[in-house]
Structure 1
Amino acid sequence: MSVFNSSRLLRKSVLVTGASSGIGMATAVLFAKVGSNVIVTAWQVDALQKVVERCVAVHKEAGAQYGGKFVTIPFDVSDKNQIASFSNKIPAELRRIDILVNNTGYVIGVDCVGDISLENMEGMFATNMFGLITLTQLFVKERGTGHIINIGSIAGKEPYAGGSIYCTTKHALHVFTAALVSEVVDTPIRVTEIQPGMVEAEFSIIRCRGDKTAADKVYNGLQPLVAEDIAEEIVWAASRPPHMNIAELFVLPVNQASATITYRSKA
């Protein structure tokens, strides 16, 4: 924990989307550990409540003297009507969000062009692009300061077969984030994109349409990143001094060189 200057995060209000599992959950829990107030969103109500329970537990274990307000808001970032009314659902004392972590992401299948369903295509664009952009606009308009952290992907740097739509949305996220850095350069707003490589999380199981065996095969022979690894990078970036902006952070497991180049042991 020494890598964080946690005093900069005490009592900060942090909003984490897609916080019901994986990177989002790990991020919410780590922010709670360093003394931040945390708002967690996702559409899975029961899972969100378990995340809040973990936040409360680690907050107490860490002996944090401040913060400690943890709130769940069931929310589908792909639904523009829900986004429009989202701010009204945040408790008044937490409404001035200091850190927005746009973590929600959606991908399903490895279908190639010609076989991709319209439903899946629309779901990826609505979640990974339009929802993120709309929520970010709300933050910029209402705050004028703070930190926006977008969770990109290696897919936003390098396209690969079987990921045409997902890669397109993550490329769009990358370009949007880079443009946003330029647009808010005359404000105190910081903007960061975290770009993970292979991360073993529930996200992979969803992509494989619930087939855990198929998801596990993706990581055979190497040690992938885990959600907690990316959560540490997110909280580290947020804990930098106010004059410093970590604009881009590309994080790979040691045996991955690109989206398609890995070393896998045969043992």
Structure 2
Amino acid sequence: MSEQKVAVVTGGSAGIGETTCRALANDGWKVVVAARRLDMCQQIADEIGGVAVRLDVGDRGSVEKLAELERVDLLVNNAGGAKELDYLRDAQDEDWQWMFETNVMGTMRVTRALYPQLKAAKGLVVNIGSVAGTDAYKGGSGYNAAKHGLRGVTRAFRREEAENGIRVCEIDPGRVKTDFSLNRFKGDEARAREVYEGKHNLTAEDVAEAVRWVASLPAHVNIDTMSIMPVDQAER
């Protein structure tokens, strides 16, 4: 690739990931749009002059393929999600395993795989966390645990790599109106719609603008954490 700076965005085919890809491209980045749905990644990449890559963060082979990129200046670990709103007494092993695999293990795999490129570039890693990683709510124990885990990973990695010039940031959105709840409730549109009705909600663009801004700062500036919530989400 050329001297143009390269950004990799996981979960880049929709929602916060897609809008982040577009915001970064508008700021002059060469964006690698990475997600499981290659056709959607390709459509976005074609529109923004980027590169489409099929990526499943739960598949080590898929992640290792991503590591063939020659240059990475920015990694946005956006792939993640939640499953259901079960109380701990009703927890499903497979839902918890998926949340940890996607939110925690996936972030670890991708960051580890791209570490040589990030170190060479003295790059930036932005992990998309959640206010669920700093607080807890009924029915959220699995997602809370996963996002608290991601927060621990982020803070440790920040300390580990400060001397190498790698910047590490966690952006923690509150209620964002995307397909997040639809995916959480496994396609139940009524339950998903109820989460957002009658409320002021963040948009995916709001979060993407935060990523774009963090990525635009000079190399000596590190935004450790940023919480972004709609005005009516002062408490749960």
Q: TM-score range by the shorter chain?
A: over 0.9
1:229 to 186, 206, 216: 206
1:22 to 15, 18, 41: 15
Query: Could you tell me how far apart the structure 1 residues matched to 2:233 and 2:32 are?
Result: 33
Query: Could you tell me how far apart the structure 2 residues matched to 1:116 and 1:47 are?
Result: 32
Structure 1 residue 12, shift from structure 2 partner: 1.2
Judge which range, 75-84 or 99-108, deviates more. 75-84
Query: Could you tell me how far apart the structure 2 residues matched to 1:170 and 1:205 are?
Result: 19
2:73 to 98, 108, 112: 98
2:111 matches 1:136: yes
Query: Could you tell me how far apart the structure 2 residues matched to 1:101 and 1:14 are?
Result: 7
| Matching residue of 2:192 | 215
TM-score by length of 1: 0.83
Structure 1 residue 187, shift from structure 2 partner: 1.5
**Cα deviation digits, residues 161-209 of structure 1 (max 9, x gap):** 1111111010011111111111112121110000000000011210121
Query: What letter corresponds to residue 148 of structure 2 in structure 1?
Result: H
2:228 matches 1:251: yes
Query: Could you tell me how far apart the structure 1 residues matched to 2:95 and 2:107 are?
Result: 17
Query: What letter corresponds to residue 129 of structure 1 in structure 2?
Result: V
Query: Could you tell me how far apart the structure 1 residues matched to 2:61 and 2:102 are?
Result: 13
**Alpha-carbon RMSD:** 1.4
**Percent identity of the aligned residues?**
38
Structure 1 residue 106, shift from structure 2 partner: 2.2
Query: What letter corresponds to residue 205 of structure 2 in structure 1?
Result: E
1:13 to 1, 6, 9: 6
Query: What letter corresponds to residue 39 of structure 2 in structure 1?
Result: D
Query: Could you tell me how far apart the structure 2 residues matched to 1:106 and 1:222 are?
Result: 21
Structure 1 residue 77, shift from structure 2 partner: 0.3
- Flag structure 1 segments of 5+ consecutive residues without an equivalent: 1-9, 57-69, 261-267
SS, match of residue 199 in structure 2? coil
Query: Could you tell me how far apart the structure 1 residues matched to 2:113 and 2:137 are?
Result: 33
Query: Could you tell me how far apart the structure 2 residues matched to 1:46 and 1:142 are?
Result: 26
> For residues 57-206 of structure 1, what are the structure 2 equivalents within 5 Å?
70-88=50-68, 90=69, 95-144=70-119, 145-206=122-183
SS, match of residue 181 in structure 1? helix
Q: Would the aligned equivalents of 2:67 and 2:114 in 1 still touch at CA under 8 Å?
A: no
| Matching residue of 2:25 | 32
- Flag structure 2 segments of 5+ consecutive residues without an equivalent: none
SS, match of residue 85 in structure 1? helix
1:53 to 46, 49, 59: 46
SS, match of residue 191 in structure 1? strand
- Equivalent residues, number: 232
| Matching residue of 1:264 | none
Structure 1 residue 120, shift from structure 2 partner: 1.6
Query: Could you tell me how far apart the structure 2 residues matched to 1:193 and 1:256 are?
Result: 19
Query: What letter corresponds to residue 175 of structure 2 in structure 1?
Result: M
Which is higher, the Rg of structure 1 or of structure 2?
A: 1
SS, match of residue 250 in structure 1? strand
Query: What letter corresponds to residue 61 of structure 2 in structure 1?
Result: N
Q: Would the aligned equivalents of 2:72 and 2:117 in 1 still touch at CA under 8 Å?
A: no
Structure 1 residue 101, shift from structure 2 partner: 0.2
Give the structure with the larger helix fraction: 2
Judge which range, 113-122 or 145-154, deviates more. 113-122
Q: Would the aligned equivalents of 2:118 and 2:124 in 1 still touch at CA under 8 Å?
A: no
